[in-house]
Amino acid sequence: MYQDEDITGVSMRLGLMLIFSLWLALLAGCDSPEPEVGEAVSTFENYQDTGDLSDLRERGYIRLLAPRFDEPSGLPRDGIPSEDYQLQAEAFVRSLNMEPRWVYADDFDQLDELLNAGSADIIVTNYSVTDTRKKTLAFSTPVNSVQEKLVIPAALADTPVSEMETLVISVPAGTAYQETAEKLARRHEHVSVEVMDSNLSDEELVAAVASGELAATIVDSNMLDILLDNQDVSNAAVAGPVVNRKRRIAWAVRKDSAELLDKINQYITSERVITSVDQPELRDWEAIQKKGVLRVITSNNPASYFMWRGELMGFDYELIRHFAKQHRLRVSVKVKESPSAMFEALQAGEGDVIAASMTHTQEREQQGWMFSKRYLEINEQLIGRADDTPLESLENLAGRAVAVSPDSAFLETLTALKQDGLAFDIITVEGVTTEQLIDAVAHGVYDLTMADSHLAAMEATYRDDIAVLYQFEPAKDIAWGLRPEQQTLKAQLDKYISRNYRGLFYNVTFNRYFKEKKTIANHVEYRITAGKEISPFDDLVKDESLKYGLDWRLITSQMYQESRFNPKARSFAGAQGLLQVMPRTGRQFGYSNLTNPQNGVEAGLAYMDWLEQRFPARLDLAEKLYFTLAAYNAGHGHVEDARRLAERIGKDPDKWFGNVEQAMLLLSKPQYARQARYGYVRGSEPVKYVREIKNRYLGYVEALGESS
């Protein structure tokens, strides 16, 4: 009934109303319940205290300080997820028989000020140790360290800094990059430093070098590989020499908190959480335990490892992390995009184990690889369209065509069938995922494809336009991949699988990914008539929406999309309540018990407001709302990835419909996802989310009248 790009007549008036309702947000800011910066938003009343550990013990709390929504600067592809720092800090506090309480700052630059003012006790985030910060703070033993590299034009590749005629290094103000650049300038007369806006991102810095706007910059090495994996950039900019081999990441306390700092250092050392930039190393169990870190090689896809609403997820990731947790190990992730690349990384000692839904095949054993016990039993399946007829036998495959990736185990199965005399065609498609091939079959691009049964089941939780036409026997094993000399690690993994396979944790996790529907059934649209309530929660939504200047009918449309007005609803990702807020998100705004309608709505609107402020003020107000809704669904990072991609492919990064939404769809494809800072996202979900909320909202306005 409603068209997104062709709203005329009443729809034009409704669009103007939407902009007017958004304008109210600018006028209603003083009514916002958003906590002040530095105010604790957990479940306790904050206080000012600058005492050392003995003073803190009297209160029973240690207050941990982090930026609100301390999201990583991208999907962790080569290191330890930043959320592990926070989990480690909570464990430290409890080891002192005290309770952790989180305090959140809206501005990263205010962390030291808040700590020294007594609003918190320990800064716990990806916090660099710099000479400037050491003047006002005391730092713990490092919990991590990263390298910094020079980014230079491709024409200067392989040129040492000492041999460059002149070099101007541009860096954001107040960052660790600035300190490194200034040290470099003091060592070399021909090097100078240009200090720029502190808000410039790593991606903007690299793009500016590639375009010639900047002569050089400095970026963390773990982000640089991602940012340079882009043909437009890599042809013009390259990674230069390492300019800081060990930039330390540590916790920070007040300078006079000597007793607290001593306890922190003892804990960090005893828990073996000290890490450094990992050099390739062939390790077995003893070396892994000594380091305290399990290096996991995986793939960025919906079954293994991805980010959704700021949370790291994936069946393989959750299972191997559960194993690591039982052995008090942290997980460091190394992302590779294909089975061959994963095995190469394992052989090179870049990781300790492959956890990526890897099929245990005879061919891979013959190549010298070792596998754990199976943690998943799957069957290969032929996938066709929902209206296709199931194959009674493989003889019915004659005359048909099956599309598969040449790097998959499916090619081995199909090749054996052809050698047995079956007359069908094999179409090899480079650089595609199972998800993409299933989607292509559903849309008639290919006749058939193959999928492992668990991945086919996962797709079936999102869609109903595909069908399993044939299942191959016998079943195959999914296992963790190892080098043949890692016998002790294999024994530990096998022991874990024996204890946990089909146990409670395993079953709950398996069902979340492969059985539970990811969307709530919507067979009949929620109908309303003039003078009637839209939902049982209209009064609540009206009151809370007004605080943020949002149209309550829009939020009600969003609520229907999220929960179908069921306050007890829970998503596969763990979101809860009427507006499906993630528990951690709720806590960051001071809300728990999100299935309580009042709490769920207040937390959801606070999060909407926070997301809206993350987008540039120059955006058209209606467009800003579309971006905010998309970010609410998928996460702010994925939307920013889509905006950057939209600009790269010639679309308008400031418009959603027909522009950024098209880029969002591309982020489920490996060639685009691996260049995106936040990696893979099932782009069809936020696209559908924004479109349906908008159309339903327009329907509500039309039914209720513009004065409602």
- The answer as to whether 462 is a domain residue is yes
Please report, for the domain that includes residue 321, its CATH number: 3.40.190.10
Helix axes 684-704, 621-634, angle to 10 degrees: 130
Please report, for the domain that includes residue 571, its CATH number: 1.10.530.10
Phi, psi of 125 (to 5 degrees): -165, -170
- The answer as to whether 278 is a domain residue is no
Contacts of 489 (CB under 8 A, 6+ apart): 284, 285, 288, 352, 353, 482
Residue among 99, 142, 106, 141 nearest 121 (CA): 99
Specify the 3-state DSSP secondary structure of 365. Answer: helix
Percent share of the chain, pLDDT over 90: 62
- Count of CB atoms situated within 10 Å of the CB of 1: 7
Q: Is the pLDDT of residue 335 over 70?
A: yes
Q: Is the pLDDT of residue 529 over 90?
A: no
Total of domains in the chain: 5
472 within 8 A of 413, measured Cβ to Cβ:
yes
Is the CA virtual torsion 211, 214, 216, 220 positive or negative?
negative
Q: What is the tens place of the pLDDT at every residue in 278-307? A: 678 999 999 999 888 999 999 998 999 999
pLDDT (mean) for 616-630:
94
Predicted confidence band at 144 (pLDDT cuts at 50, 70, 90)? Answer: confident
Q: What are 253's strand-pairing partners? A: 138
Phi, psi of 350 (to 5 degrees): -75, -15
Predicted confidence band at 113 (pLDDT cuts at 50, 70, 90)? Answer: very high
| 572 shares a domain with 692 | yes
**What does the pLDDT read at residue 337?**
83
- The answer as to whether 280 is a domain residue is no
**pTM of the complete model:** 0.80
Long-range pairs of 586-591 with CB within 8 A, sequence gap ≥ 24: 587/41, 587/42, 587/102, 588/41, 588/68, 588/69, 588/102, 588/104, 589/35, 589/41, 590/35, 590/41, 590/42, 590/43
Measured CA to CA, the distance from residue 306 to residue 304 in angstroms comes to: 7
| 166 shares a domain with 298 | no
pLDDT (mean) for 666-694:
92
**Mind telling me the catalytic residues?**
562
Q: Is the pLDDT of residue 65 over 90?
A: yes
Phi, psi of 521 (to 5 degrees): -55, 140
| 690 shares a domain with 550 | yes
| 436 shares a domain with 543 | no
Q: Is the pLDDT of residue 562 over 50?
A: yes
Residues in the chain: 708
Query: Could you list the residue range(s) of the whole structural domain that residue 684 is in?
Result: 10-27+536-704
Question: Which contiguous run of DSSP H or E holds residue 702?
Answer: helix 684-704
- The answer as to whether 34 is a domain residue is no
pLDDT (mean) for 473-490:
96
Helix axes 621-634, 597-612, angle to 10 degrees: 120
- Which of 139, 173, 201 finishes a domain? 139
C-alpha angle with apex 110: 107 to 112, nearest 5 degrees? Answer: 145
Q: What is the tens place of the pLDDT at every residue in 213-265? A: 999 999 988 778 777 766 566 578 888 889 988 888 899 999 999 999 999 99
Q: What is the tens place of the pLDDT at every residue in 344-380? A: 999 999 999 999 999 898 889 999 999 999 999 999 9
Q: Is the pLDDT of residue 687 over 80?
A: yes
- The answer as to whether 363 is a domain residue is yes
pLDDT (mean) for 76-85:
79
- The answer as to whether 42 is a domain residue is no
> Position of tokens 């007549």?
9
| 337 shares a domain with 194 | no
Specify the 3-state DSSP secondary structure of 332. Answer: strand
Specify the 3-state DSSP secondary structure of 297. Answer: strand
The secondary structure of 391-412, three-state, reads CCCHHHHCCCEEEECCCCCHHH
Measured CA to CA, the distance from residue 332 to residue 112 in angstroms comes to: 28
| 361 shares a domain with 291 | yes
Q: Is the pLDDT of residue 28 over 60?
A: no
Please, is 501 exposed, middle or buried when counting C-beta atoms within 10 Å of its C-beta (0-12, 13-18, 19+)?
middle
- Count of CB atoms situated within 10 Å of the CB of 213: 11
- The answer as to whether 39 is a domain residue is no
Distance of alpha carbon 161 from its chain centroid, rounded?
Answer: 36
The token pair at 51 is: 């005492």
350 within 8 A of 282, measured Cβ to Cβ:
no
Phi, psi of 415 (to 5 degrees): -65, -40
Q: Is the pLDDT of residue 17 over 90?
A: no
| 18 shares a domain with 95 | no
Is the CA virtual torsion 127, 129, 130, 131 positive or negative?
positive
Q: How many CA atoms lie within 13 A of 393 on its CB side?
A: 2
Predicted confidence band at 29 (pLDDT cuts at 50, 70, 90)? Answer: very low
**Looking at residue 110, what DSSP letter applies?**
G
| 583 shares a domain with 668 | yes
User: Strands 353-359, 293-298: parallel, antiparallel or unpaired by DSSP?
Assistant: parallel
The secondary structure of 588-646, three-state, reads HCCCCCCCCHHHHHHHHHHHHHHHHCCCCCCCCHHHHHHHHHHHHHHCHHHHHHHHHHH
**What does the pLDDT read at residue 271?**
76
| 399 shares a domain with 344 | no
Q: Is the pLDDT of residue 397 over 90?
A: yes
The token pair at 457 is: 């089941």
Specify the 3-state DSSP secondary structure of 288. Answer: helix
pLDDT (mean) for 294-323:
93
- Which of 104, 139, 174 finishes a domain? 139
**What does the pLDDT read at residue 32?**
36
Q: Is the pLDDT of residue 621 over 80?
A: yes
Residue among 515, 403, 414 nearest 472 (CA): 414
Residue among 450, 651, 629, 480 nearest 555 (CA): 629
Q: What are 297's strand-pairing partners? A: 334, 354
Residue among 223, 275, 203, 204 nearest 77 (CA): 223
- The answer as to whether 430 is a domain residue is yes
Measured CA to CA, the distance from residue 675 to residue 373 in angstroms comes to: 34
| 150 shares a domain with 75 | no
| 679 shares a domain with 667 | yes
Measured CA to CA, the distance from residue 29 to residue 548 in angstroms comes to: 7
> Position of tokens 């005329």?
8
CA dist 460 → 383, 439, 457, 574, 681 (Å)? 11, 11, 5, 20, 17
Which amino acid is residue 29, in one-letter code? Answer: G
**What does the pLDDT read at residue 230?**
62
For residue 474, whether the previous peptide bond is cis, meaning omega lies within 30 degrees of 0, is yes
Lowest-pLDDT range, 64-78, 180-194, 356-370, 393-407?
64-78
CA dist 358 → 16, 26, 487, 494, 663 (Å)? 52, 51, 19, 16, 30
**What does the pLDDT read at residue 358?**
93
Predicted confidence band at 16 (pLDDT cuts at 50, 70, 90)? Answer: very low
| 402 shares a domain with 344 | no
